[in-house]
């Protein structure tokens, strides 16, 4: 564990862009502080270096006999094996399908899954839209309720399992909330789902970079049938995701997409699909993205979960202590610094009397601090946490349909990763205290169509145009 802790300290210096300085409204260049990891994580240099090394051999995979194609094929297949071992998938009963991201994984599963007419999917009120909307297209969706603190109401889960017993095809739950950081008891949820005859799907997008995952053997009562992850939340560039799925569901359905690379033979009136996993990966895959995801996984494993959990729990305690000492701060979800075992380092909050997107704009333009504002692709959950009355929610929906997002309810979210330290949290909370005291220099106006605030008379990000897409040509 000591070795993992020391490696974590060294990794901060290995983050791509850790020393980037950005122009602020005062004209001062400030170190960029990234506390938006729940959206996407930055890239770590060891992962980038492995990608750069692989690019020397990059070619299309499978069926090619050129040397680079053989190397690329082996790397791509090894990446699949690394993902399967990472989540402890059952190698006899499950397979790994590479996708663009968790959203695509869930949509793919929703299109393939053999839903029975009249049956239901159970999900929760805390889900990201990508683990809610895809199921609605194929089945009736029933939402498990929440407790007052935003955590899952297990009593309501048991009630709904009993009420719909025999008619539940799937229980689909997030491993951790991207809004409040709450960790769900996935083993218990899976066991109770299986007792009713349902399969269990875990959205691990927010979980995979922070906690170990064990899908367990097929005959285990807490077996996870389906799981999705995204590399862009795990310090890997290119954004490749993966769906780990029970083979029988994929083998007994038509392929989701058809085209090149997933057929053995095509006649004018028929086609013969390849075996899994190739039959679910039509076209040329994101080979480099798969290598990047696998390299990031190996890096997380090298650091070790004990070190990662200890580090992020320390930061969570520190963040909650600092937020609670900031005047007018309202924290949503668990806010006790002495009890952080049941949460990840994602913190949603508001400053009393201030619009969330205004706070986010000031943090960015005057502090060089990246957070996220709004409802975080979890609108029903945020409306519950904010206790927005139904009539107000309906009024906001009418305004949005009229292209006016001025009154969208929401919060500010700060989220930490393995490279963050207390200095990042200090920068955030020092700036929040100045904002709460009215000590900021800019005058800001809202853009109604986006709901975002911009400083009046200044265009900071266009002044500092050090990046363009034009490549450097030789000579």
Residues tagged active-site: 377
* Residue 189 near residue 223 (C-beta atoms within 8 A): no
* Residue 332 near residue 180 (C-beta atoms within 8 A): yes
Please state, in angstroms and rounded to a whole number, the distance separating the CA atoms of residues 59 and 100. 19
* Residue 412 near residue 349 (C-beta atoms within 8 A): yes
User: How many other C-beta atoms can be found within 10 angstroms of the C-beta atom of residue 438?
Assistant: 7
Residues 6+ apart with CB under 8 A from 255: 262, 273, 279, 280, 282
DSSP state of 313: H
User: How many other C-beta atoms can be found within 10 angstroms of the C-beta atom of residue 249?
Assistant: 16
Please state, in angstroms and rounded to a whole number, the distance separating the CA atoms of residues 280 and 250. 8
Q: Would you state the torsion angle of the CA atoms of residues 201, 157, 374, 363, taken in this order, to the nearest 10 degrees?
A: -90
Give the CA distances from residue 137 to residues 256, 356, 437, in Å, rounded to whole numbers and listed in that order. 15, 32, 47
Q: Which residue has the tokens 């400053």?
A: 351
User: How many other C-beta atoms can be found within 10 angstroms of the C-beta atom of residue 7?
Assistant: 16
């Amino acid at each position: 564990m000591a070795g993992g802790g020391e490696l974590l300290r060294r990794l901060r210096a290995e983050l791509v862009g850790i020393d980037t300085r950005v122009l602020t409204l005062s004209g001062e260049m400030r170190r960029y502080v990234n506390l938006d990891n729940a959206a996407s994580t930055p890239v770590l240099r060891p992962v980038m270096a492995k990608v750069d090394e692989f690019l020397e051999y990059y070619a299309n995979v499978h069926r090619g006999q050129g040397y680079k194609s053989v190397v690329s094929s082996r790397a791509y297949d090894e990446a699949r094996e690394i993902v399967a071992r990472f989540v402890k998938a059952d190698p006899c009963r499950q397979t790994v399908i590479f996708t663009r991201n968790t959203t695509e994984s869930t949509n793919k599963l929703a299109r393939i899954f053999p839903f029975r007419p009249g049956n239901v999917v159970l999900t929760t009120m805390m889900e990201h839209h990508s683990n809610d909307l895809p199921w609605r297209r194929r089945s009736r969706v029933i939402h498990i309720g929440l407790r007052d603190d935003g955590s899952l109401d297990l009593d309501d889960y048991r009630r709904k399992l009993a009420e719909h017993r025999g008619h539940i095809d799937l229980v689909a739950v997030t491993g951790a909330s991207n809004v409040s950081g709450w960790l769900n008891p996935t083993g218990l949820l899976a066991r109770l789902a299986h007792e009713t005859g349902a399969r269990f799907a875990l959205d691990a997008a927010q979980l995979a970079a922070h906690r170990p995952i064990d899908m367990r053997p097929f005959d285990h009562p807490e077996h996870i049938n389906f799981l999705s992850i995204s590399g862009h939340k795990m310090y890997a560039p290119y954004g490749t995701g993966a769906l780990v799925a029970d083979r029988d569901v994929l083998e007994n359905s038509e392929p989701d997409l058809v085209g090149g690379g997933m057929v053995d033979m095509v006649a004018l009136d028929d086609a013969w699909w390849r075996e899994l996993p190739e039959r679910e990966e039509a076209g040329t895959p994101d080979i480099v993205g798969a290598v990047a995801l696998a390299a990031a996984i190996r890096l997380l494993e090298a650091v070790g979960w004990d070190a990662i959990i200890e580090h992020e729990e320390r930061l969570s305690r520190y963040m909650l202590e600092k937020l609670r000492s900031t005047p007018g701060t309202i924290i949503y979800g668990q806010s006790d610094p002495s009890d952080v075992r049941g949460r990840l380092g994602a913190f949603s909050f508001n400053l009393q009397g201030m619009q969330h997107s205004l706070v986010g704009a000031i943090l960015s333009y005057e502090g060089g601090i990246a957070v996220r504002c709004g409802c975080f692709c979890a609108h029903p959950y945020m409306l519950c946490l904010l206790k927005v009355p139904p009539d107000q929610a309906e009024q906001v929906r009418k305004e949005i349909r009229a292209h006016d997002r001025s009154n969208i309810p929401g919060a500010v979210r700060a989220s930490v990763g393995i490279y963050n330290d207390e200095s990042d949290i200090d920068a955030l909370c020092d700036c929040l205290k100045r904002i709460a005291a009215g000590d900021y220099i800019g005058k800001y106006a809202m853009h109604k169509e986006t709901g975002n605030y911009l400083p009046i008379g200044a265009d900071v990000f266009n002044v500092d145009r050090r990046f363009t897409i034009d490549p450097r040509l030789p000579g």
